[in-house]
């Protein structure tokens, strides 16, 4: 009997594993020409001041429109791009496109881009950033590089020198998904961060009475104040979450309560609408 149960499991389990592997192999292959075929694009999600509600900047989020499989999420293809050595080219494309977009927005708005561990292993990222900000005449201070904790653990000596070189260019650095990795707090002293992004998992559990998430969000707010880091709350979906993160000292927020990731046009409209209203208000009071 044990043997037939084993075989039953075998039949159910293996095909799905194989499908999964086949899909991954296919995506890895198809990704190779994705930039050339214009299948990649960026969406821009507003990052908003939790006090005034004004847009402070945008995070560039990568999307892949596969001709047959439709929209493939970054959670599915970024690690494939890392494993197959394609992340350098894709990452360079993202930074160039993000600077191109930022050049179309008011000067006071920042643009955040996500950078993977592999992009921090050598200095070629510095050339990419230098070229992109020069090509689009973007002030380097507007460019925020987002990295995650695991990036630092995997290769901290080279990552540290790349991050310092980015800081010398004038860029800013954000620690993304803060609280989910295994980095110790000493990383906050060793690396030149400007911002901490509280991972969305903490916000998701805030309504849950048995969870300590609200305390953790407050503790991260205190940490940010003590260490002079700007705290950004990710995944703000409800008014309750916004009230908590604002009170806890998160100056910036990002999430569906404010807006979803937007196309470049929609992002520009959002800013124009916001600024237009503000200008009108000034005009009337003058």
Shortest gap between Cβ of 12 and ligand C2E (angstroms)?
29
- Residue of minimal Cβ distance to ligand C2E: 255
Task: Give residues 117-146 in contact with Mg ion (rule: CB under 5 A).
Answer: 146
Separation of alpha carbons 27 and 70, rounded Å? 12
By beta-carbon proximity to ligand C2E, the closer residue of 130 and 180 is 180
By beta-carbon proximity to ligand C2E, the closer residue of 107 and 265 is 265
By beta-carbon proximity to Mg ion, the closer residue of 30 and 191 is 191
Please answer whether residues 109 and 73 qualify as being in contact, where contact means their C-beta atoms are separated by less than 8 angstroms.
no
Shortest gap between Cβ of 218 and ligand C2E (angstroms)?
20
Strand partners of residue 144: 112, 172
Q: Crossing angle for the helix pair 2-31 and 74-83, nearest 10 degrees?
A: 80
By beta-carbon proximity to ligand C2E, the closer residue of 211 and 280 is 211
By beta-carbon proximity to ligand C2E, the closer residue of 127 and 277 is 127
Classify burial at 96, counting beta carbons within 10 Å of its beta carbon; exposed 0-12, middle 13-18, buried 19 or more. middle
Shortest gap between Cβ of 68 and Mg ion (angstroms)?
27
The answer to whether residue 149 forms part of the interface with Mg ion (CB under 5 A) is no
Collapsing DSSP states into helix, strand and coil, what is residue 277? helix
Joined together, the tokens standing for residue 140 give 């380097």
The answer to whether residue 259 forms part of the interface with Mg ion (CB under 5 A) is no
By beta-carbon proximity to ligand C2E, the closer residue of 62 and 129 is 62
DSSP annotation string for 104-143: TS-TT-EEEEE--GGGGSSTHHHHHHHHHHHHTT--GGGE
Q: Which of 144, 150, 226 is nearest to 193 (CA)?
A: 144
By beta-carbon proximity to Mg ion, the closer residue of 176 and 259 is 176
Shortest gap between Cβ of 13 and ligand C2E (angstroms)?
28
* Cα separation values, 199 from 217, 232, 277, Å: 9, 9, 32
- Please enumerate, as own/partner, the contacts of 107-110 that have beta carbons within 8 Å and a separation of 24 or more: 107/139, 107/142, 109/55, 109/56, 109/57, 109/58, 109/142, 109/271, 110/47, 110/56, 110/57, 110/58, 110/141, 110/142, 110/143, 110/144, 110/172
What does the binding site for ligand C2E look like in residue numbers (CB under 6 A)? 45, 61-62, 73-75, 78, 94, 114-116, 146, 176-177, 200, 234-237, 254-256, 261
Q: Which does 207 bind (CB under 5 to 8 A by kind): Mg ion, ligand C2E, none?
A: none
By beta-carbon proximity to ligand C2E, the closer residue of 204 and 268 is 204
Shortest gap between Cβ of 286 and Mg ion (angstroms)?
40
Q: Which does 256 bind (CB under 5 to 8 A by kind): ligand C2E, Mg ion, none?
A: ligand C2E
Shortest gap between Cβ of 24 and ligand C2E (angstroms)?
16
Residue 81 CB partners (closer than 8 Å, separation 6+):
31, 87, 90, 116
Count CB atoms within 10 A of the CB of residue 45. 21
Shortest gap between Cβ of 132 and ligand C2E (angstroms)?
13
Shortest gap between Cβ of 99 and ligand C2E (angstroms)?
13
Q: Which does 244 bind (CB under 5 to 8 A by kind): Mg ion, ligand C2E, none?
A: none
Among 177, 194, 237, 274, binds Mg ion (CB under 5 A): 177
């Amino acid at each position: 009997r044990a043997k037939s149960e084993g075989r039953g499991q075998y039949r159910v389990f293996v095909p799905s594993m194989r499908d999964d592997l086949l899909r991954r192999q296919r995506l890895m292959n198809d990704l190779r020409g994705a930039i050339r075929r214009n299948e990649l694009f960026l969406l821009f999600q507003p990052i908003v001041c939790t006090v005034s509600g004004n847009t402070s900047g945008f995070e560039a989020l990568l999307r892949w429109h596969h001709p047959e499989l439709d929209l493939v999420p970054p959670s599915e293809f970024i690690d494939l791009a890392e494993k197959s050595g394609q992340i350098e080219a894709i990452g360079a494309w993202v930074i160039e496109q993000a600077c191109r977009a930022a050049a179309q927005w008011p000067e006071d708005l920042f643009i955040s881009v996500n950078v993977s561990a592999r992009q921090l292993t050598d200095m070629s990222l510095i050339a990419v950033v230098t070229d992109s900000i020069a090509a689009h005449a973007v002030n380097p201070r507007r460019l925020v590089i987002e990295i995650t904790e695991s990036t630092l653990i995997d290769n901290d000596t080279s990552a540290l020198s790349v991050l310092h070189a980015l800081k010398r260019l004038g860029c800013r650095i954000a620690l993304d998904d803060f609280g989910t990795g295994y980095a110790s707090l000493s990383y906050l002293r060793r690396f030149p961060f400007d911002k901490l992004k509280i991972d969305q998992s903490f916000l998701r559990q805030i309504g849950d009475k048995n969870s300590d998430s609200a305390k953790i969000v407050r503790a991260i707010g205190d940490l940010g104040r003590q260490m002079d880091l700007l705290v950004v709350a990710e995944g703000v979906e409800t008014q309750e979450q916004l009230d908590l993160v604002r009170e806890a000292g998160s100056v910036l927020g990002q999430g569906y309560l404010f807006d979803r990731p937007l196309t470049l046009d929609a992002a520009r409209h959002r800013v124009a609408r916001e600024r237009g209203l503000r200008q009108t208000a000034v005009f009337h009071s003058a």
